[in-house]
Structure 1
Amino acid sequence: MVRAEVTEAPISVTELADAVQDAAAGAVVTFEGVVRNHDAERAVTGIGYSCHPTAGQIVEQIAQDVAQQGRVRALGVVHRVGDLSVGEVALAVAVSSDHRAEAFAVCSQIVEEVKERLPVWKRQTFTDGSSQWSNIA
């Protein structure tokens, strides 16, 4: 099972973890990247994520590439776009594998691939009312 998407809807890491469950798996590892309340020394109130129209295809390709390596039973990766508040999930990854070491390694690999390849931009809004764009989500 491979699930990959870019969505405007809130992300449930629990639902994603449930979706990758496999009776043959000895481990399920999840990652949730959440909006934090600061960036360096500046207080953040939220982040607006925007993406290129091909983002859905790219996240699907990342997931398929990793799945084809044969190291996991199932995986899911979901990136959120739109306006998010502090504490909301922006990126979720869930991986099931026969063993924990593979599950942790693949989960980390997916996060790094998404950060490197997915065309997503973020606009951070600060408590002073200012905002700043970045091409690194």
Structure 2
Amino acid sequence: MTDSSPLVRLVDIRDSALDVAEVLEALADVAAGGLTLFVGKVRDHDGGKGVAGLDYSAHPSAMERLREVCESVAARYDVRGVAAVHRVGSLDLGDAAVIVATAADHRGQAFEASRALIDDLKATVPIWKHQRFTDGDEEWVGTP
């Protein structure tokens, strides 16, 4: 997708650390009265088991799909800006795995759009999680 909405300010999938300040800067707009930010982090447990770390893998179409999700949210909600970045590769406990944010005139619009953005991303962008547990077990999450 080459023609991007000017409302989609930042979209990326990268193998380096994610930066909240970068996302906030991308959505800076004095007309926006509300900016909501969600940071998904690697937690130390899942399903009653201890998590040692995880790896994210992305399908070659993931970047295009992430952009489509951002474009869709920008079209459906009354926002001034949308941003989404997702990490791939090996992550440690506490690392940011995903950051999504939206800016809007009012907080309610920003909250609704950000909720849709993370939910749509998780449901449709082909990024898969390989969890490594402290007991030596492992599992893939979100694979087809």
Pairwise same-fold verdict (TM > 0.5): yes
Separation of aligned partners in 2, 1:23 and 1:85 = 36
Give ranges in structure 1 of 5+ residues lacking alignment: none
Q: Give, as a single letter, the amino acid of the residue that structure 1 aligns with 2:14.
A: T
Name 2:134's counterpart in structure 1.
127
Answering whether residue 45 of structure 2 is matched by residue 7 of structure 1, we say: no
Name 1:106's counterpart in structure 2.
113
Q: How many pairs align? A: 136
SS of residue matched to 2:82: strand
Give ranges in structure 2 of 5+ residues lacking alignment: 1-6
Q: Is the CA contact (8 Å cut-off) linking 1:97 and 1:103 kept in structure 2?
A: yes
Write out the 4+ residue segments of structure 1 that deviate beyond 6 Å after TM superposition: none
SS of residue matched to 2:86: strand
Name 2:54's counterpart in structure 1.
47
Q: Percent identity?
A: 37
Q: Give, as a single letter, the amino acid of the residue that structure 2 aligns with 1:19.
A: A
SS of residue matched to 2:76: coil
Cα deviation 1:54-103 (Å, max 9, x = unaligned): 00000001111111235110110011111101111111011110000000
- 1:40 deviates by 1.7
Name 2:87's counterpart in structure 1.
80
Q: Give, as a single letter, the amino acid of the residue that structure 1 aligns with 2:113.
A: V
Query: Normalising by structure 2, what TM-score?
Result: 0.90
- CA RMSD, Structure 1 to Structure 2 (Å): 1.2
Q: Is the CA contact (8 Å cut-off) linking 2:77 and 2:109 kept in structure 1?
A: no
SS of residue matched to 1:87: coil
Separation of aligned partners in 2, 1:106 and 1:66 = 6
- 1:120 deviates by 1.1
